[in-house]
């Protein structure tokens, strides 16, 4: 029975190789894009290079390995209207809640002499807005979800739902190789993993990811005062605390409601821990008696170690070049 259940699952080894190939392709494309003069075109190209790699390499790799693409693009449960609508408050709530954590982490980095930042494309003119939405919101929502909530989540499902979601969030966070994107991306990554694991449909995560990136792209334009919250002042601390509490008040009930409306009755999750993740594997694809891996997962340890080292080197590069 266990052999049948585990047949054709994406393994940790395959997930690591797929991700490694994506990084190689991304690096090659990035080197080619370096020929583009500095400016908005280069910023857009840097985003596009990563997403082209994540959109193509994993699917080609799975095809070559004859692994069902349904494992990277799970859609076994139909989308439902109410859960889809709940994705809006879930995304907004997470964005508000995590702003304090992300900004506070930025203050810590600055105290250590680092200046983490995220390059954003220009929004001047209709063409730049359209291009920014495509490369910052649409492409990452598709490519990154295929990799992190498709391949990665599937590869780690035999570790249990809780660990798989945490690992997906951790790798997603580290993959940005930017201290400024560690905190929010980790929490968001765990939430996105839960949306997929609890419903068996990756489109919930894709849509949530798209809304999140839209917020990141336009919130500073819509609310100019938001950009000044990164400055450490007493008033900003109070504002960030209020945002964090308000975000949690929006996020937590929305996730609970999502769980209630999105998961079929026979697979309903009755017990939650502080992270709103099921204690028992009751969600689609997770209630099966998967054979647990024994021993150390060297591919996973190697991947995370590599990403941590590369993230540290990336963060320290400005100090080294000074």
| Phi-psi map region of 115: left, alpha, beta (phi>0 left; psi -120 to 50 alpha) | beta
Task: Give residue 60's pLDDT.
Answer: 92
- Cβ atoms of residues 274 and 251 within 8 Å: no
DSSP type of residue 176: T
Q: Are 119 and 44 in contact (CB under 8 A)?
A: no
Identify any residues that bridge with 201 across adjacent strands, giving them in sequence order.
Answer: 75
Q: What per-residue confidence (pLDDT) applies to 112? A: 76
- For residue 285, the model assigns a pLDDT of 47
Please, what is the end-to-end C-alpha distance for the chain in angstroms?
60
Q: What is the pLDDT of residue 289?
A: 42
CA nearest neighbour of 73 among 194, 154, 162: 154
Residue 36 has a pLDDT of 86
Q: Which of 238, 232, 59, 76 is nearest to 151 (CA)?
A: 59
| Alpha-carbon gap, residue 307 to 125, rounded angstroms | 36
pLDDT in tens, the chain (322 residues): 333 344 447 889 999 999 999 999 998 998 888 888 888 998 899 889 989 999 899 989 988 988 888 877 888 778 999 999 999 999 999 999 999 988 988 888 888 777 767 788 888 899 999 999 999 999 999 999 999 999 999 888 888 788 889 999 999 999 887 777 788 999 999 999 999 988 889 999 999 999 999 999 999 889 988 888 888 899 999 999 999 999 999 999 999 999 888 875 444 444 444 344 443 444 444 444 455 566 788 899 999 998 888 888 877 765 565 5
> CB–CB of 2/291 below 8 Å?
yes
């Amino acid at each position: 029975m266990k052999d049948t259940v585990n047949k054709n699952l994406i393994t940790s080894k395959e997930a690591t190789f797929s991700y490694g190939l994506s990084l190689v392709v991304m690096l090659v494309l990035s080197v080619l894009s370096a020929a583009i003069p500095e400016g908005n075109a280069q910023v857009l190209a840097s985003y596009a290079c990563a997403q082209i790699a994540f959109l193509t390499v994993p699917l080609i790799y799975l095809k070559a390995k004859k692994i069902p693409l349904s494992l990277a693009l799970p859609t076994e449960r139909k989308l439902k209207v109410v859960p889809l609508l709940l994705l809006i408050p879930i995304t907004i709530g997470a964005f508000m809640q995590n702003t304090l954590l992300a900004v506070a982490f930025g203050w810590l980095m600055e105290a250590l002499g680092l200046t983490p930042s995220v390059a954003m494309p220009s929004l001047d003119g209709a063409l730049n807005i359209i291009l920014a939405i495509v490369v910052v919101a649409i492409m990452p929502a598709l490519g990154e979800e295929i990799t992190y909530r498709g391949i990665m989540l599937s590869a780690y499902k035999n570790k249990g739902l809780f660990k798989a979601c945490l690992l997906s969030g951790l790798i997603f966070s580290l993959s940005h190789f930017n201290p400024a994107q560690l905190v929010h991306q980790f929490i968001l990554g765990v939430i996105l993993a839960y949306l997929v694991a609890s419903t068996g449909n990756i489109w919930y995560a894709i849509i949530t990811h798209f809304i999140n990136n839209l917020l990141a792209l336009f919130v500073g334009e819509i609310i100019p005062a938001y950009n000044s919250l990164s400055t450490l002042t007493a008033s900003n601390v109070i504002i960030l605390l209020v945002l964090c509490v308000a975000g949690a008040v929006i996020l937590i009930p929305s996730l609970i409601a999502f769980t209630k409306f999105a998961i079929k009755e026979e697979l309903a999750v009755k017990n939650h821990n502080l992270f709103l993740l099921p204690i028992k594997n009751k969600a689609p694809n997770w209630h099966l008696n998967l054979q647990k891996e024994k021993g150390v997962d060297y591919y996973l340890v190697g991947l995370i170690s590599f990403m941590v080292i590369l993230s540290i080197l990336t963060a320290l590069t400005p100090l080294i070049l000074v």
